């Protein structure tokens, strides 16, 4: 046989085999090949009801986890919901689930038909998750959608709305369970009633040790009037909402579960409403929720470049924005309110990594991060006193009171650079807002207490005429306990000098001890190689867990008085950036992106920007993993999600705060990558002014007043 003929027959046989394989695959798999790419800048889409990652919705006060079912249950089990500040024994604990919803035909539950069309869409512009599906119970089906909203307009409010089209006539039962309460919660009481075809429950809880009292008020109703009664189980202490409704084939029905969570409340708010007023309230709340999100996005980062870059920025900002709210006294745990990883504790993650991503466009939201440190100052003072030091010692892991809650025996308890990270964050807030009254009443007490701590914490090395800081863990946690971490010593020195600067601006005399310790602080430096030394005893073959000495360049922006820092920065960066573990935490590459941009290396700055998000996204909803590792899942890691935003604002767009300039100098020195035609930051806010910053090729910067 001729070779070309044989090749043709082989190709035909391969094609036929491929067709057979495709025909044998389940419909849910074969359909995925027809779906468009998920590169919309505002809407993230899943076509897989078995999506293993799901998403989380929140408003900075309450939250809920949602998987492929589109509601607060997964594989028949309730998914956790959380509330900011709900700590017991210093650990964040979940509330009872309020976002659950089930459909029943008698005793048979309707389940998602995975062979039918399915789509789940996360609208980031409006903060709404919609699941389009077919639910099946035997031969009966419901086709429609479920929307979940966690209100940005009302802190304790959430709504699950199901719109379905039945293919049968008869009865449909809607059921919403709350699940069992956490072991740290005491259930005070639970009552239910039915008024004007609304099934309602009010449940009150109290934490065992902190004594936080809150209520979960829930109501179930239909937009249409064909109500057929409610189950007596409602009025028992099970807190199950259950309503039975008449349905007709081909006629749309809409059901809503509305929730309000109130702290220190008697929980009676929903009980007096009739169905009409409740529906009007829900509709108004959802409209207000959409408006709040639209207003938040007026402060946008607009990339004229690859669609995936734009989507990544919106995804990262979306998860960050829904984890904080104006007026809150709570900071942001590394995973926000998506789970209880790290016990929901607050780390340097909030102050050094998340805060800068918010402060330039959302200072009113960023404020909760600095206010948390002021509110927990008594706990930090108690930590210092317990360890024999003056001032305040901020905990490496803190919760309700600010007391140290890092698990005993772990060296991270000695990660004392946290004090300086807290102080720098306080100062950045003051620089960005120019709020002198805030500095006097809230910022300065923190700066003073942390500076006093360093004075008592340093050791005087008499033979070397310098102050040293011994037995600390640096940002590179693989190093364990070491002496004289360059990062720690530098940020301690900065902390002291910022306290001095703050005192002067408030018309007070700085402490002479602050000046003395700052002026004589030992900064590890290698003069022969013109670079900083990470810590005493550093070995050249050391593999760091994460960026350490590189952070001296950014975000610390540390300068040696009278020295040209160009070569020192480059030598430090080139040396240490090659010695970091490839599967380290996500924020490494975003810092590298900013540093490269400030060196003028736009190619590397862009490469590091892409690396700051691409290896970490999981699933169709861009859930941000803590590490690039494919075997390690710890999500939703907001510390890392803040990285691409920092990379864009402070690197590629070139924003730079001068920490010690009079008046709080803000400058722009962009590094526009060739992959982007332009970059625009809208609604930048600085010291009472709001403006837009546009950057085009050639690093041309245009600053103009915002229309906001």
The 10s digit of each residue's pLDDT in 477-512 is 999 999 999 999 999 999 999 999 999 999 999 999
Q: How far apart are CA 122 and CA 551, in angstroms?
A: 35
- The kind and range of the H/E element at 692 are strand 689-696
Per-residue tokens: 47: 């076509």
Q: How far apart are CA 3 and CA 563, in angstroms?
A: 74
Q: Hey, which residues does 170 pair with through a beta bridge?
A: 247
Q: pTM for this structure?
A: 0.93
- CB distance 579 to 542 below 8 Å: yes
Read off the DSSP letter of residue 371: H
**673 CB-side CA count, 13 A:** 23
How many CB atoms sit inside 10 A of residue 370's CB? 26
Q: How far apart are CA 275 and CA 270, in angstroms?
A: 11
Mean pLDDT, consecutive 10-residue stretches, the chain (708 aa), reads 42 44 42 73 97 95 97 93 97 95 93 97 98 97 98 96 97 89 89 80 93 93 74 56 91 95 67 80 96 98 98 98 96 97 97 98 98 98 98 98 95 96 98 97 98 98 96 96 98 98 97 98 97 96 94 97 94 97 90 98 98 96 90 88 98 96 85 98 97 98 94
**Cβ contacts of residue 94 below 8 Å, gap of 6+?**
80, 81, 82, 86, 182, 340
Phi-psi category of 180—alpha, beta or left, where left has phi over 0 and alpha has psi -120 to 50? beta
- CB distance 307 to 333 below 8 Å: no
Q: Please, what is the end-to-end C-alpha distance for the chain in angstroms?
A: 76
Per residue in 102-129, pLDDT tens?
999 988 999 999 999 999 999 999 999 9
CA dihedral of residues 626, 629, 633, 637 (deg, nearest 10):
10
**Cβ contacts of residue 194 below 8 Å, gap of 6+?**
200, 230, 234
Q: What are phi and psi of 308, to 5 degrees?
A: -65, -35
Burial of 12 (0-12, 13-18, 19+ CB in 10 A): exposed
Closest of 328, 341, 319 to residue 94, by C-alpha: 341
- The pLDDT of residue 26 is 45
- The pLDDT of residue 269 is 53
Closest of 702, 651, 649 to residue 301, by C-alpha: 649
Q: Hey, which residues does 201 pair with through a beta bridge?
A: 192, 218
Q: Which residues are catalytic?
A: 477
Residue bearing tokens 């734009």: 310
Q: How far apart are CA 404 and CA 659, in angstroms?
A: 29
What residue ranges define each of the domains in the chain, with the CATH number in brackets?
50-296 (2.70.98.40), 301-375+582-708 (no CATH), 386-547 (1.50.10.10)
Long-range CB contacts (within 8 A, 24+) of 357-360: 357/316, 357/317, 357/320, 357/642, 357/643, 357/645, 357/646, 357/649, 358/320, 358/324, 358/642, 359/428, 359/429, 359/432, 360/432, 360/649, 360/655, 360/681, 360/684, 360/685, 360/686
């Amino acid at each position: 046989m001729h070779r070309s003929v044989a090749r043709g027959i082989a190709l035909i046989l391969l094609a036929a085999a491929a067709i057979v394989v495709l025909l044998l695959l389940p419909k849910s798999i074969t359909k995925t090949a027809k779906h468009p790419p998920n590169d919309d800048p505002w809407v993230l889409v899943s076509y897989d009801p078995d999506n293993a990652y799901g998403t989380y919705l929140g408003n900075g006060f309450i939250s809920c986890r949602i998987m492929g079912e589109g509601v607060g249950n997964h594989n028949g089990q309730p998914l956790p919901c959380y509330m900011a500040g709900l700590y017991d024994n210093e650990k964040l604990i979940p509330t009872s689930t309020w976002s659950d919803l089930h459909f029943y035909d008698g005793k048979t539950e309707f389940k998602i038909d995975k062979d039918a069309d399915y789509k789940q869409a996360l609208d980031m512009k409006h903060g709404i998750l919609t699941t389009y599906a077919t639910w099946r119970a035997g031969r009966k089906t419901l086709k429609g959608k479920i929307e979940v909203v966690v209100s940005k307009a009302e802190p304790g409010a959430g709504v699950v709305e199901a719109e379905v089209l039945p293919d049968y006539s008869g009865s449909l039962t809607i059921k919403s369970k709350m699940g069992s309460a956490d072991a740290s919660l005491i259930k005070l009481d639970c009552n239910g009633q039915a008024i004007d075809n609304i099934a309602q429950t009010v449940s009150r809880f109290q934490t065992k040790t902190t004594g936080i009292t809150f209520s979960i008020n829930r109501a179930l109703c239909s937009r249409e009037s064909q109500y057929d009664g409610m189950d007596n189980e409602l009025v028992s202490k099970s807190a199950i909402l259950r309503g039975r409704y008449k349905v007709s084939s081909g006629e749309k029905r809409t059901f809503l579960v509305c929730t309000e969570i109130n702290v220190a409340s008697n929980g009676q708010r929903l009980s007096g409403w009739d169905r009409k007023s409740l529906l009007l309230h829900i509709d108004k709340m959802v409209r207000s929720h959409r408006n709040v999100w639209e207003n938040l996005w007026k402060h946008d980062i607009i990339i004229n470049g690859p669609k995936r870059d734009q989507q990544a920025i919106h995804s990262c900002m979306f998860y960050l924005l829904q984890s904080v709210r104006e007026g809150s006294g709570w900071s942001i745990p590394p995973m926000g309110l998506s789970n209880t990883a790290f016990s929901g504790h607050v780390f340097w993650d909030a102050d050094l990594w998340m805060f800068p991503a918010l402060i330039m466009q959302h200072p009113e939201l960023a404020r909760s991060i600095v206010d948390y440190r002021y509110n927990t100052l008594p706990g930090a003072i108690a930590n210092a006193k317990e360890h024999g030091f003056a001032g305040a010692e901020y905990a490496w892991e803190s919760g309700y009171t600010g007391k140290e809650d890092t698990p005993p025996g772990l060296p991270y308890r000695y990660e004392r650079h946290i004090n300086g990270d807290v102080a720098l964050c306080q100062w950045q807030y003051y620089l960005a807002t120019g709020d002198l009254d805030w500095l006097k009443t809230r910022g300065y007490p923190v700066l003073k207490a942390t500076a006093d701590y360093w004075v008592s914490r340093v050791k005087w090395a008499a033979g070397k005429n310098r102050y040293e800081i011994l037995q600390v863990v640096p940002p590179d946690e693989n190093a364990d306990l070491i002496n004289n971490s360059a990062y720690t010593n530098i940020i301690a020195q900065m902390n002291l000098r910022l306290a001095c600067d703050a005192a002067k601006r408030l018309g007070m005399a700085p402490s002479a001890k602050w000046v003395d310790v700052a002026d004589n602080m030992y900064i590890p430096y290698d003069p022969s190689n013109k670079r900083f030394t990470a810590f005493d005893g550093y070995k050249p073959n050391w593999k760091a867990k994460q960026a350490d000495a590189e952070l001296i360049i950014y975000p610390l922006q540390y300068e040696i008085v009278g020295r040209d820092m160009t070569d020192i920065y480059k030598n430090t960066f080139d040396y240490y950036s090659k010695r970091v573990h490839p599967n380290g935490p996500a924020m490494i590459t975003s810092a590298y992106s900013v540093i490269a941009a400030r060196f003028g290396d736009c190619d590397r700055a862009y490469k590091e920007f892409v690396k700051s998000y691409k290896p970490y996204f999981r699933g169709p909803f861009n859930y941000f993993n803590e590490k690039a590792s494919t075997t390690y899942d710890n999500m939703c890691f907001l510390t890392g999600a803040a990285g691409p935003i920092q990379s864009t604002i402070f690197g590629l767009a070139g924003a730079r705060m001068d920490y010690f300039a009079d008046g709080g100098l803000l400058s722009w020195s962009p590094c526009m990558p060739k992959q982007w035609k332009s970059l625009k930051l809208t609604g930048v806010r600085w010291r009472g002014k709001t403006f837009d910053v546009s950057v085009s090729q050639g690093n041309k910067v245009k600053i103009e007043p915002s229309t906001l």
